[in-house]
A and B are shown apart, each in its own frame.
Chain A
């Protein structure tokens, strides 16, 4: 069982370009998440999805979009990348999402993105 996979592992991107970060999980989890991790800051939620077909905005959604066409995949798109989006991006999943959920979030290995 692979758990969560992310692609690419790393990417250098010119400002203004469009980029899609891929995330796939094989645990049949309902909830999926995208976080960014920057030096000196805690992980911050970009977007999330409670179940296939639904998405929601997190703490820092501007400049990013997501889709959840099926249970397994949750791609994150940067429509026009800017240098401030240079970060490490983590995808995560959990069985359920909700205010009293104690389900473990499983994280992918991350994508290191540099926008020049």
Chain B
């Protein structure tokens, strides 16, 4: 079964600290992996998209890694800010005709002052 599992479910950190969110997937055939940020009450916003051949991609203070062999990805947030408080969703795209996206349940991050 195609699944995307994220950990931890929730996380609280202090402003200025770094954190790493994890994503494991059992999606096949794999096309690409995406990380989204979703603020409360809003739609998800794309942070990064990585294909099979890419093992790291950055977007400002966000750095995503991908290990296609172990089917794991991580999202590292550097020098966290209060505005980073949100849910972070890992999404894996299937390499099939309809190109469906499989969404994880997300990690809810709270950054405290």
Contact = CB atoms under 8 A, between A and B. Distances in A.
12 contacts: A42-B89, A42-B104, A43-B103, A45-B101, A56-B98, A59-B100, A92-B43, A100-B31, A102-B49, A102-B51, A106-B46, A109-B43
A107 B99 contact: no
Contacts of B95: 99-100
Interface in A8-23: none
Interface of B: 4, 31-32, 41-46, 49, 51, 89, 93-106
Interface in A36-72: 40-45, 48, 56, 58-59
Interface residues of A, dominant DSSP: loop
B103 A99 contact: no
B44 A107 contact: yes
A42 B105 contact: yes
Nearest to A96: B99
Contacts of A44: 103
B101 A105 contact: yes
B97 A99 contact: yes
A97 B96 CA distance: 11
B43 A90 contact: yes
Nearest to A98: B99
Contact of B98 (A99, A102, A109): A99
Interface residues of A, number: 26
B100 A101 contact: no
Nearest to A100: B31
Contact of B43 (A40, A98, A102, A107): A107
Interface string A86-116: 0000101000011111101111111000000
Nearest to B94: A99
Given A43-B44, A110-B42, A110-B43, 14 more contacts: A40-B105, A42-B4, A44-B103, A56-B98, A59-B100, A90-B43, A97-B99, A98-B99, A99-B31, A101-B99, A102-B32, A105-B101, A107-B44, A109-B43
Contacts of B97: 98-99
